[in-house]
Amino acid sequence: MPLDPVAYRPYEDPDDFIREVTDRIWVQRDISYIVDNYEPDSIVHGGLGTVVGRDGVIEGSLMRIAETPQHVGQAEDVIWEARGDDAFLSSHLVFSADELLVDGRPTRVRKRTVANCLYRRGRMVEEWVVRDELASVKQMGLDPAEVARGQRFRGYEGSMTKPAPSDVLSVGDSGPRPDDFRGECEMVLEFLDEVWNQRRLHKVPQYMERDLFLHTIGDTTVVRPDGYQRDLLSLVAPFPDARFAVRDVQTNHAERYAGLRIAVMWTMHGTYHGTADFGPLTGAPVDLLGVSQFLVQNGRIVREMRVFDEIALRAQINATRGDGEFTETNIY
């Protein structure tokens, strides 16, 4: 069933809609447009938890724009997929390279953000947003542990408190989805289960090209299967029992973005009792929200864009220790 234009008016398509709406709010600084763009009871999930209601989005956006008034977020990819005939789910990969003053010196800060947005009849209903805050912290010469102590983990509400969907290719957190590119989706989900969950890291070359690229947090690029294996080991080492649950999937094929991309929203659930990378071990559970965008060509993965918020993860671990002086930080 074709998508009704009511889902993305007055723009050409959902890709155009997402890029133009984002620029209007974040580049043109029309913060009041959030009132027209978001439902009053919209829900936003981020690294630090859930915010319910449009007012929280407005306040958080205003503070972020004020912090970096020269910020320009460039659309690197928009993976959108219909959710019925009047709605769509987009996975918007945003790249920024802002120049900030750090100790009086101009400093270039590169980072990526992914916003998964569920729009119905042109209005935001629910959003899942993750930012590579580690990249900002490192490039500004700050201590990640110290920055995390200034943040407060709120906890999750709504859909994020429910078990992951049992058949995510049919129904994800955003609702029923079309059965597009099933073979490629099944391959990506099998890869996540075999390599990420079962730790069969030797199978990376079975799913990914030799000349693969992984762009991940800290503005880091990893190449080749060996690099991918080492990066995954570093992610799960603090949480040896970590398991990844897929909560949503969307696909889009567009030549302007090099072909078929598959966006996967995932959560990692584990216990901080492994390597002490984030301070003293707690033995307490953690939940990490992340998004990976996979570029698939000829049935194989050639690139992954992975974004999650390590600073928010540290704040969550700190909360289980009662560690730090928390300030009120809006997750948006």
Q: Both tokens of residue 236?
A: 């799960």
- What's the pLDDT tens digit per position in 84-99? 999 999 999 999 988 7
Q: Is the pLDDT of residue 263 over 50?
A: yes
- Looking at residues 228-245, what average pLDDT do you find? 98
Longest dimension (CA), the chain: 56
- Ranges 199-208, 259-268, 277-286, 318-327: which has the least confidence: 318-327
Q: Compute, in degrees rounded to 10, the torsion defined by CA atoms 25, 161, 275, 196.
A: -80
Q: Is the pLDDT of residue 62 over 80?
A: yes
- What's the pLDDT tens digit per position in 132-187? 999 999 999 999 999 999 999 999 999 999 999 999 999 999 999 999 999 999 99
Position 27 scores a pLDDT of 85
CA atoms within 13 A on the CB side of 246: 25
- Looking at residues 269-291, what average pLDDT do you find? 97
Higher pLDDT, 276 or 29: 276
pLDDT-based confidence at residue 328 (cuts at 50, 70, 90) = very low
Q: Which of 214, 177, 181 is nearest to 195 (CA)?
A: 214
Helical spans, DSSP H, in the chain = 14-26, 33-37, 54-67, 133-139, 144-149, 182-191, 204-207, 224-236, 310-321
Are the CB atoms for 208 and 225 separated by under 8 Å? yes
Gap between the Cα atoms of 144 and 102, Å rounded: 16
CA 23 to each of CA 10, 70, 123, 212: distance values in angstroms, whole numbers, following the listed order? 15, 13, 16, 31
Bridging pattern class, strands 243-254 and 259-271:
antiparallel
Q: Is the pLDDT of residue 203 over 50?
A: yes
Q: Which of 280, 190, 198, 186 is nearest to 236 (CA)?
A: 198
Q: Is the pLDDT of residue 329 over 60?
A: no
- What's the pLDDT tens digit per position in 117-127? 999 999 999 99
